[in-house]
Chains A and B, each alone.
Chain A
Amino acid sequence: MPLYLNEEQTMLRDTAKDFVAEHAPVSHLRALRDANDATGFSRDLWKQFAEMGLNGILIPEAQGGLGLGHVEAGVVLEEIGRNLSPSPFLTTAVAAVEALKGSAQADRWFPGIVAGETVAALAIDEGAKHRDAVALKAERSGNGFRLTGAKRFVTHGHVADLLIVAARTAGSPDDAEGVTLFAVPRDAAGLTASPERLADSSLAARMAFEGVEVDADAVIGEVDAGRDPLGRLLRAGRTGAAAELLGIGGGAMDMTVGYLKERKQFGVAIGSFQALQHRAAHLYSEMEVARAAVLKAQQLLDTGADAEMVDGAVSIAKAITGMATTLSVQEGIQMHGGIGMTDEYDIGFYMKRARVLAEMFGDVGFHADRLAKAAGY
C-alpha cells in the first residue's frame, strides 16, 4: 500500500474539510468558550456528524456503520484539529468504538453512537501523567462488580452517556494482568463527576467511583483480560490524537504562513525576510515528517500488521506529532509577534489545544520511553 491517501480517502478528506470548516470553525469554539458552555461541545453538531455517517466510521457496516479504517477516521480528526472543533469524535467514535468492537456491549451502544445520541468518555487515567498503571478496584459483588476508586482527565466525563473504565480485578496497580475493562452507564449510582475547565476551554472531569454497582455483562471482553480491549482503545486513541494534533499543527502553520505573506514591516511582507523564511521552512519540514509517521501508523493499524510493529508506529506517531505540533504553535506565536499573544487572535487557541492533546494518551516522553523499552534499552 503506497504511503499516501488513495482516491476515496482524498474524497473523504475533501468532504470532511468542507463540512468541519463550515459547521465548526474556530469561531464555534470561541462562541462556546465565551458562553461558558457547560457541556463543552455542541450536541447539535454531534447529530450533524451522525447525519454525515461519520460517527460510525469505524463501526462495521453490519452494525450500521461505514466499516472504514483508521486512515479514514484520521482524515476526519485532522479536520477537527485544524478547526479546533470541540467534539466527542475522538473519545466516542474512535477510542470507545475500538474498545467495544466485537464485544457483547457493542450491540447495546453502537446504535446510539451511530445516531449521534450517545457520547462515550474514557476513564483510564489516574494520575496527572498518563501511564499503564490501573489501581481503581472492581470487586465481585452479587451478579456483577463493585467499582471503587478515582479517575481523572476524563474528557466529556460529566455529560457522557457511557464510560469506558479500566479497573483492577486482580493483582497490583503496575501488573500487566488483572485488568478488566467495563462499560459503565453514566447514571450508575455512586458515580460522580467534577468537571474542570482546562486551558483550552474544554471540560475534563475528575470521576469518583464509590462502590458503583455494575452487572457482569458490563465487562468488555473477558475478566482480567482487559489489556486486550484497552490496548485497542489506546492504539486507536493515540493514533487518533496524533491525527488531530497534525490538524492543529497544520492549521497553526497555515495561519502563520498566511500572516507572513500579508503582514508588512519596513514596507515589505515580513515573509520576504530570510530569518522568518527559514523558521517557516523548518516548521514545514517537521510537520511533513510527522504527517508521514501518522499515516504509517494508521495504515499499519488498518492492515492488522504485527502487534509490536503497530505499537512502535503508534508511539512514533504520537511522540512526533507532540513535538512537531508544539513547534508549530510556538513558532506560530513567535512569528505573529505581539498580536499572537492576544485573545482576539486565534493562534493562541491552537497553542492551548495542542498542549492538551499532546498530554492525552501519553506525551512525547511517555512514548519515547515506551519505544526505548521495546528496543531493549
Chain B
Amino acid sequence: MSGLDTFRADTRVWLAENCPPEMREPVRSDADICWGGRHFAPSSPAQKDWLDRMAARGWTVPDWPKEYGGGGLSAAETKVLREEMAAIRARNPLNSFGISMLGPALLKYGTEEQKLEHLPKIARGEIRWCQGYSEPNAGSDLAGLAASAEDGGDHYIVNGQKVWTSYADKADWIFCLVRTSKASKQGGISFVLFDMESPGVSTKPILLISGYSPFCETFMDNVKVPKANRIHDENKGWDVAKYLLGHEREMISGMGLGGGGRNPLIEGAIATVGLDHDGRLADPVLRTQIALFEVRAKAFAAMSERFIDELKAGRAHPAQPSMMKYVGTELNKDRHELMMAAGGSDALEWESERSNTGAAPRAWLRTKANSIEGGTSEVQLNIIAKRILELPGA
C-alpha cells in the first residue's frame, strides 16, 4: 500500500469513530451551522464534539502548517480527507471567514507574530471574523472606499462606515480595509484587524427579503487600532484584499456544489409530485429541468475539483476564481429556484414548525445575493474578459 492508501484507510477509520451520526445529516437551517466564536452556543453536543475532535487534529484547516493549528497535510492528503468526509456525508465541522478568507491572506502576508496570534484561534473556532470591505459608496468599485485611518503614532484612529458586513453583530474581530492615504486610489489602502469590542465600534443589522439579518452596517467612531494589527505594508492593503477576494470567490462558488449524498432537490420533487409507473418523476417538465440542472451541477463539481487541484499545484490562472464564482453562484440560484418549484406550496410556508421556520424559502431568497456579494456576476465577467480572454478595454 502506498502512503496515500494508508492515509485513506486510517482516515476512514478515524472518521467512522469520531464523526457523530448527527453530523452526517444535511444542515437543516442557518441555526444548524457551526460558526464558532466567543459567543457561540453549539446547537447540539454532537456539533461541539465534532468541532473539538477535528480541531484537535488540525483538520478544520487540514493543509495549514501544524504550528498554526493546521493538520500539515499535503494537497493529495487534503483531497483524500475531503473525499472520505464526503463519502460519509460529514458536515463541515466549522464554517469560518477566518478559514476561507483571512487565513490564506495571513499565511501569505502576515508576520510570524501575527500568524501565531490569530491562525490557531481560527483553526479552533475560538474567534469569529467578519469582513469590512464594502462601504455605502464603494461596492463594485471597492477601491473607492473612504473609511479613514489617521496616524496616531503606534496606532491608527479609524473613522467611517462599512456595509454588508456579514454577521458583524456576531463576530469577534474584523478584517478591514481603511484608507491611509488619499494620494492614490488603490495605493492608499491598508489592511487592518481589530476587535469588535474596541471602543467606538457599533453594528446595526440590515433586515433582508429573507426576513433575516445576516448583513450589518458597521460604524467606526475614533476606533484605536494598533499598527501591529496591520497586515502587510502601509498603503499595500489592496494586494492583500485582492488575494483574499480570490479565496472569498472560491468559497462562494463552493455553494454551487450543493451537498454530497442524498440530493434534497430530487428528494423534494419526488415527495411532492411522486413517481409514475416507470419510476420517473410524474411532472415531466420538472424532471427535465432537474436532470439538465444536475448535468451542469455535476460538471461544475468536476471543475471545482480541477480548480482546487490546480490551485494546490500553483498552476491556476489568478482570475480563475472569478469564473468559479460566476458559474457557482448562478448555479446555486438555479438550484434554489428549482427547489422552490419542486416543493410547491410546502416550500412557501414561512413560519411553520414543519417548514423549519421557512428554511427553504429563506434559503432561496438568500441565494439571490450570491451573484451580488463578493463582486457581482457582471464584475466577474469583466475580469474574465479582460484577464483571461485579454479582450481590449473600452
B266 pairs with A290, CB closer than 8 A? no
Q: Does B209 contact A (CB under 8 A)?
A: no
Residues of A within 8 A of B380 (CB): 281
Given known A285-B323, A320-B299, A372-B290, contact A3–B305 (CB-CB < 8 A): yes
| Residue interface bits B77-113, CB-to-A below 8 A is 1, else 0 | 0000000000000000000000000000000000000
Cβ < 8 Å to A, chain B residues 350-394: 378, 380-382, 384-386, 388-394
Enumerate chain A interface residues (CB-CB to B < 8 A).
2-4, 257, 260-261, 268-269, 271-274, 276-278, 280-282, 284-286, 288-293, 295-296, 312-313, 315-317, 319-320, 323, 364-365, 367-369, 371-373, 375-377
Q: How many interface residues does B have (CB within 8 Å)?
A: 49
Beyond A3-B306, A281-B384, A323-B296, 20 additional contacts (C-beta under 8 Å) are A4-B315, A271-B385, A271-B392, A272-B392, A272-B393, A273-B394, A281-B385, A281-B388, A281-B389, A292-B307, A293-B299, A295-B306, A316-B298, A319-B295, A323-B292, A368-B292, A368-B294, A372-B281, A376-B270, A376-B279
A375: chain B residues at CB < 8 Å are 263, 266, 294
User: Whole-angstrom distance between the alpha carbons of A372 and B305 in the complex?
Assistant: 23
Chain A residues near B305 (CB-CB < 8 A): 3, 292, 296
Instruction: Tell me whether chain A's interface is mostly helix, strand or loop, or mixed.
Output: helix
- Is the CB of B313 closer than 8 A to any CB of chain A? yes
Q: Which of A296, A323, A372 has the most CB of B within 10 A?
A: A372
Q: How far is the CB of B77 from chain A (nearest CB, A)?
A: 13
Which chain A positions have C-beta within 8 A of B126? Answer: none
What is the CB-to-nearest-CB distance from B394 to chain A, in angstroms, rounded to a whole number?
Answer: 5
A-B residue pairs, 9 tightest by C-beta: A277-B385, A293-B299, A281-B384, A292-B303, A3-B306, A368-B291, A2-B309, A296-B302, A292-B302
A323 pairs with B295, CB closer than 8 A: yes
Note all chain B residues with C-beta closer than 8 A to A291. 303
Contact of A278 among B75, B290, B294, B381 (CB under 8 A): B381
Q: Are A260 and B391 in contact (CB under 8 A)?
A: yes
**Which residue in chain B gives the minimum CB-CB distance to A276?**
B391
A-B CB contacts (within 8 Å), total count:
149
* A285–B307 CA distance with the chains assembled, in angstroms: 13
Which residues of B have CB within 8 Å of A271? Answer: 385, 391-392
* Sampled A-B contacts (25; CB under 8 Å): A3-B302, A4-B313, A257-B391, A261-B390, A268-B392, A277-B381, A277-B385, A284-B384, A289-B302, A292-B304, A292-B307, A312-B298, A315-B295, A316-B295, A316-B299, A316-B302, A323-B292, A368-B295, A371-B295, A372-B287, A372-B290, A372-B291, A373-B280, A375-B294, A377-B279
* Chain A neighbourhood of B290, CB < 8 A: 372, 377
* Residues in B whose Cβ lies below 8 Å from that of A315: 295
* B79: nearest chain-A partner, CB-CB: A2
Q: How far is the CA of A317 from the CA of B304 in the complex (A)?
A: 15
Alpha-carbon separation in the docked complex, A23 to B280 (Å):
48
Check if B269 is an interface residue, CB within 8 A of chain A. Answer: yes
* Nearest CB on B from A141, distance (A): 37
